[in-house]
A and B are shown apart, each in its own frame.
Chain A
Amino acid sequence: MNGHPTREQDFDLYALGALEGDEKAAIGNHVATCASCAEKLADARGRLALLALAAPAVAPSPSVRARLMNQVRSEKQGGALAPAVSLVPETTGGIFGRWWAAVLVPVGFALALASFVLWTQNRRLDQQLAVLHEDMQREQQQLQSAREVADLINARDTVIVPLAAQPGMPKGSAHVMYNAKMGMLMYEGQLEPNPANKSYQLWIVPTQGNPISAGVFNAASTETDHFLMKLPPGIAPKAFAVTLEPAGGRPAPTGPMVLVGAAS
């Protein structure tokens, strides 16, 4: 190929890996020397990367994250293992006047030492077991949360509601992802930091009845706040709103409305 590819889809097909032989080589050679076509190929790669989103959501096991961070920490320490610490302190021998004392005293001492070592090891193993048990419980909770988020994302009847800032209120914006059947809600947004004696509170305003609290949170300075909430299933939403409430939140909204978005 002497000139530019003639059809836009040529870049897509190349990025997809569907081309072969001369067709593939011609585009590969051309983009290596043509900046504008290299950029078109980059756009094609980006477009095609989005096809990954057609895959059903599968949350990774929390153990992957734990293994990754262990690997990172090992790498930071140069991969070296900490020097092994002997559980048995060094002892020095003594001189005894009687032969049996010379035998029994060291034997007794060795037994006492062995008992102490076993007791220490047992205690340490108990502690390790307790830590592992806590880790396992935490991982199971994380896995459960990750699965719930994946289910929420995958569900066709999940709605996404943008929440807009109200005039005269702290600046910010947010989205709520909500599935009434599952009773699951995910909030994600950025708001100006709240005063120390106040908290933000998210409300679901049902089509019938009073607003229901869907989470109390404090806004960090720059980070996006996000949280997942479980609510009673079947609440049909009319709107979602964030109000500024006394610290810790209130059972019913009392403060000004900062963000609001209609559900339909």
Chain B
Amino acid sequence: MARMVQRDEAALEALYDRYAGLLSSVLNRILRDTQAAEEILQDIFFQLWRTASQFDASRGCLPGWLMVIARNRAISRLRHHNPAAGEELFENTLVLLPMSLESAITQKELMGRVKVAMEALPKEQRAAVELAYFEGLTHSEIAERTGDPLGTVKTRLRTALETLKRAMHP
């Protein structure tokens, strides 16, 4: 990021090469629209370039920020919420990733753990997590979508998150 602040294009290219695949995957999963996903992907990295000096490493790690921002932007787009004009990339949001995601191989290892953990969840719990994470639905929206009682949805989601936490960070 220090090189980005110095307006070093190669630094942006290196960050893009490292994280664009991750962001592209989540953007495509949420939007199911390659063109929209690519627009947001380009926009995120362009804003990263323009506002690199505002990034405060003490407030979180870059890949965590990028993944949170990518999800938020995609869900806003999906739900037709237009982000406010001039929205800052480094919103006042602290994100602490439990591990480094700098290398493609670490990403692959972690991807395997997350997928296994998700697949091990009971079907209804997995569906609740996917509706919340990839579609941005709230408790009551999930209940409405699935036809399950609100209390059941809350319990499912809470239990699923606890199981995922234990599985991904034993």
Contact = CB atoms under 8 A, between A and B. Distances in A.
B93 A188 contact: no
B20 A41 contact: no
Interface string A89-122: 0000000000000000000000000000000000
A186 interface: yes
A215 to B, nearest CB: 15
Interface residues of B, number: 68
Contact of B105 (A56, A76, A146, A177): A177
Nearest to B66: A49
A46 B17 CA distance: 21
Contacts of A51: 114, 118, 129, 133, 164
B98 A13 contact: no
Contact of A53 (B13, B110, B142): B110
Given A13-B158, A58-B28, A153-B107, A45 B95 contact: yes
A47 B140 contact: no
Interface in A6-65: 7-9, 12-13, 16-20, 38-39, 41-43, 45-61, 63-65
Contact of B24 (A17, A58, A186): A58
A53 B132 CA distance: 15
Contacts of B13: 65, 69
B60 interface: yes
Given A20-B138, A53-B114, A64-B41, A177 B108 contact: yes
B9 interface: yes
What is the predominant secondary structure among interface residues of chain B facing chain A? helix
Given A53-B110, A55-B28, A72-B12, A42 B60 contact: yes
A63 B41 CA distance: 12
Contact of A18 (B42, B107, B138): B138
Contacts of A17: 75, 132, 136, 138
A68 B157 contact: no
A224 interface: yes
Given A20-B140, A72-B9, A72-B46, A57 B111 contact: yes
Contacts of A42: 60, 94-96
A9 B95 contact: no
Interface string B67-79: 1101100010000
B25 A188 contact: no
8 closest cross-chain pairs (CB), A and B: A55-B29, A42-B94, A52-B26, A60-B24, A49-B67, A175-B105, A46-B97, A58-B28
Given A18-B138, A41-B94, A49-B67, 11 more contacts: A19-B138, A45-B95, A49-B64, A49-B71, A52-B22, A55-B29, A60-B41, A61-B38, A149-B21, A186-B105, A188-B105
Interface of A: 7-9, 12-13, 16-20, 38-39, 41-43, 45-61, 63-65, 67-69, 71-73, 75-76, 146, 149-150, 153, 158, 160, 175, 177, 186, 188, 224, 226
